Amino acid sequence: MKLYRFAVLLCLFFLSCEQKSKVEKEVEEIPVDIKVERFDKAFFESKPEDLGKLKKQYPYFFPTGNDDSVWIQKMQEPIWREVYSEVQKKYSNFEPVRQEFNSLFQHVKYYFPKSKTPKVITVIGEMDYTAKAIYADSLVIVALELYLGKEHKFYEFPNYLKQNFEEKQIMPDVVSSFTYRNIPAFPDKNLVSQMIFEGKQLYAKDLLLPEYTDADKIGYTPEQIKWCEENEAYMWRYFMEKEMLYSDDPKLTTRFIAPAPFSKFYLEIDNDSPGRVGAWIGWQIVRSYMKNNNVTLPELLKVNAKEIFEKSKYKPKK
């Protein structure tokens, strides 16, 4: 009997690998050639007298109401010149990242055939960590000053933010921006709905970034992923016993969904927990739903949280 079970498991394993290989082979055949424009280079290597030409070429980066002196000052400001120099050291050759974009948008085209293939534009922004990468229909804008590496001297941010200022986070950030734009807003604001909302965009990374680790997808360290896996049942029991799942208390968003140095159970485990554990649990719920229902990725994004939760058959691993 044991030998039979082993043979069945082995067959299922190879079938899974074959299926994955089939999908990936189809993805590789999709013709995508991402174009990258280095606006950061164009801006900082332009002379003040060339500003008019630059504004005409990239009007969306020059909102009306700002005098030309604002842009000329940034061109010449020593601190921004230094930022540009550091970006150039890191990304003088952008081809490896462009290839990553190519692969990503081959996957996007596979799962969302009607989507446009965007143009990628690199910028040096204002160190706004809430807008590191923006997917805007036909454009992807990447603020390279926020992908210099977590130990970079420029960063005076908390560690839980800096740990994601790595090159490896560019694609996950782009997918987050893409999926957030494609998930309809639902009226429910309770905790489980927010968990599943976040779980949808994390599940999209499972399909669009299949070579990435779970830690890279959610922006955790490997140790933080391990903590979540080991404490999944405990966290779920806590949410159930405290009757939090259907609560609309906005404080729960801060405690379990929003980026933070740790999640707030108000227990001794807090210091060991990563932030956003509610998003991680939501990810597991969505994974369970997709395992037990025949639904495409675009369809998943449109299903309301209540239906996903009820049909997920989610059970935390013990």
Encode pLDDT of 183-220 as tens digits: 998 888 999 999 999 999 999 999 999 999 999 999 99
Q: Give yes or no: residues 78 and 150 share one domain.
A: yes
DSSP E strands in 131-196: the ranges are: 133-136, 139-143
Instruction: Read off the pLDDT of each residue in 158-169 and give the average, rounded to a whole number.
Output: 97
pLDDT score of 8: 46
Secondary structure of residue 123 in the 3-state scheme: strand
For the segment 213-233, the average pLDDT, to the nearest whole number, is: 97
pLDDT value, residue 12: 46
Task: Kindly state whether residues 146 and 229 are assigned to the same domain.
Answer: no
**Which residue carries 């999640």 as its tokens?**
263
* CA-wise closest residue to 112 among 289, 286, 299: 299
| Interatomic CA distance for residues 299 and 296, integer angstroms | 5
- Relative to beta strand 139-143, strand 119-123 is parallel
Which pLDDT score is estimated for 21? 76
Question: Tokens 């061109």 identify what position?
Answer: 75
* Residue 50 shares a structural domain with residue 146: yes
What is the DSSP annotation of 178-229? HHHHHSPP-S--SHHHHHHHHHHHHHHHHHHSTTS-HHHHHT--HHHHHHHH
- The per-residue pLDDT for 63 is 87
95-141 confidence digits (pLDDT tens): 999 999 999 999 999 999 999 999 999 999 999 999 999 998 889 99
* Pair 41, 145 in one domain: yes
Count helices and strands (H / E) in the chain: 15, 4
Query: Last residue of a domain, which of 112, 143, 158?
Result: 158
Which pLDDT score is estimated for 17? 52
For residue 223, being part of any structural domain is answered with: yes
Q: Is residue 60 part of a domain?
A: yes
Q: What is the mean pLDDT of residues 26-36?
A: 95
14 is a domain residue: no
What pLDDT, on the 0 to 100 scale, is given for residue 64? 85
Q: Are residues 137 and 218 in the same domain?
A: no
Tens-place pLDDT, residues 255-310: 999 999 999 999 999 989 999 999 999 999 999 999 999 999 999 999 999 999 99
* Assigned domain for 20 exists: no
Q: Is 224 part of a structural domain of the chain?
A: yes
pLDDT attached to residue 317: 85
In a domain, 186, yes or no: no
State which of 158, 177, 202 marks the end of a domain.
158
- Are 305 and 248 members of one domain? yes
Of residues 75 and 17, which shows the higher confidence score?
75
Specify the pairing of strand 36-38 against strand 119-123: parallel
Look at residue 10 and tell me whether its pLDDT is greater than 80: no
96 and 148, same domain (yes or no): yes
CA atoms 78, 80, 81, 83: torsion sign: positive
Q: Same structural domain for residues 135 and 249?
A: no
Distance CA 146, CA 167 (A): 9
Asked whether residue 85 falls in the same domain as residue 199, the answer is: no
On whether both 120 and 73 belong to a single domain, the answer is yes
Number of domains in the chain: 2
At residue 19, the pLDDT reads 58
pLDDT at 15 over 90: no
Looking at residue 9, its pLDDT comes to 46
Residue 167's Cβ-count burial label (10 Å; 0-12, 13-18, 19+) is: middle
Residue 70 falls inside a structural domain: yes
What is the share, in percent, of the chain residues with pLDDT greater than 70? 94
Q: Say what the pLDDT of residue 20 is.
A: 64
Structural domain range at position 71: 36-158
Same domain, 154 and 214: no
Q: What pLDDT is recorded for position 267?
A: 93
Could you tell me the strand order of the sheet in which 133-136 lies? Answer: 36-38, 119-123, 139-143, 133-136
Q: What is the DSSP letter of 274?
A: P
Last residue of a domain, one of 158, 178, 203: 158
Any domain includes 7: no
The angle formed by the CA atoms of residues 156, 276 and 317, to the nearest 5 degrees, is: 140
Q: Which two tokens stand for residue 7?
A: 């043979």
- Mean pLDDT calculated for residue range 75-91: 96
211 in the same domain as 141? no
Burial of 276 (0-12, 13-18, 19+ CB in 10 A): buried
Report residue 112 as tokens.
């969302």
Lowest mean pLDDT among 10-19, 46-55, 126-135: 10-19
